[in-house]
Amino acid sequence: MTRRNVLKSIFEEQLAAANPGTKAEAQGRDRVLAGPVRTMSLTLDKIEEESRVLQEALATGASVVDLDPQLVDVSFIRDRFPSADDPAFAALKESMRSHGQEVPILVRPHPGQGGRYQAAYGHRRIAAARELGLKVKAVVRSLDDQQLVLAQGIENSVRRDLSFIERAIFAKTLEDSGYDRPVIMAALSTDKTELSKMISVARAVPEDLAKAIGSAPKAGRRRWLQLADLLQSEDAVRRVELVLADPDMTRDSDARFIRALSAASEREAARSTTRIWKNSAGTPLARISRDKKTTVVRFDEKAEPDFAGFVLERLDALYEEFRSRQS
């Protein structure tokens, strides 16, 4: 099912009730849906269209009710890191104080507790309403678990307000909960390659460390991959744990990420040695970096374009010469 049709199906009943004359037409369109999830498109037009469909459903078809926020529980899978110092939350709370809640949240009747609800999305609006002593405006929809996580993930993908690591942990949690990757791709509006990288990072970075760092919105995929690679070392994990346990550690999550990355790479860099190899004329041809586990030789292709190929062609002969000297 495409992401647009996932959103449409979630609100289908409300739209039909508000617009009974269009029910048959809507069913005719929905009849052509294929499979549980189609190939995901990541174009901006698609994302904007999903947002438009959602807002249309809320504006024209979905019944909005006022709920006591104390009766609304969080989703069974969290997608956002808690933060004691979130400027966006402070701005949201001030906006709700001054102008009221402009966009309703989506909830379902709680599957395990009568008289309560469970949020698909809108967790910050719920928290703000609680702190302000306000009712929270909500659309109540009967959703199964998969519909809930799809709505939750898609709404945040449209809003683009989850950081890379929050999306990565969310993806890992969904997979650990038994959802297959096509469903997770639909929920996160992403493709197979990007999802693999997200889950790889989430499995390499201990979740307690990731949450201690925080959302770090400025630290994108590349730097999280770098940190994940460094944390393969138990020594690096211990160094990061020590840094993050500092009671004077900054509350800014991007700054915490930089401190964690620095701690993870500090001694690794110190243990490695690098030297420049030059030819008899003094021209640098290669940079050689060595540590306890690896030796990396980087040839300067501009200085001597064919030399690296020459060395590669002779690797077998060099290895046999090496073995003969060992015997």
Report domain extents, the chain. Answer: 3-202, 205-271, 273-326
105 vs 20, which has greater pLDDT?
105
Which residues pair with residue 105 across a beta bridge?
Answer: 138
Dihedral of the alpha carbons of 22, 23, 29, 31, in degrees to the nearest 10? -170
pLDDT band at residue 88 using 50, 70 and 90 as cut-offs: confident
**CA distances (Å), origin 112, targets 104, 117, 152:** 23, 9, 19
pLDDT of residue 312: 93
For residue 29, the model assigns a pLDDT of 37
pLDDT of residue 169: 92
117 pLDDT above the threshold of 90:
yes
Main-chain phi, psi angles of 48, to 5 degrees: -65, -35
Q: Is the pLDDT of residue 65 over 70?
A: yes
Mean pLDDT of the 85-95 span: 80
Predicted confidence (pLDDT) per residue in 156-176, tens digit: 665 556 889 999 998 999 999
Q: Which of 272, 276, 268 is nearest to 303 (CA)?
A: 276
Residues 6+ apart with CB under 8 A from 62: 11, 14, 15, 18, 104, 139, 141
Q: Which tokens belong to 18?
A: 């508000």
Q: What mean pLDDT do residues 207-211 have?
A: 91
Residue 238 pLDDT > 60? yes
Strand order in the sheet with 273-278: 273-278, 284-290, 295-299
23: pLDDT strictly greater than 60: no
CA dist list (Å): 212 to 35, 74, 215, 290, 306: 39, 20, 9, 32, 49
| Average pLDDT score over residue span 199-206 | 95
Residue bearing tokens 């037009």: 45
d(CA 160, CA 175): 21
Q: How far apart are CA 304 and CA 314, in angstroms?
A: 17
pLDDT at 33: 35
pLDDT band at 86; cut points 50, 70, 90: low
Q: Is the pLDDT of residue 80 over 80?
A: no
pLDDT at 102: 85
Q: What is the pLDDT of residues 97-115, one digit of tens each?
A: 998 998 898 999 999 888 9
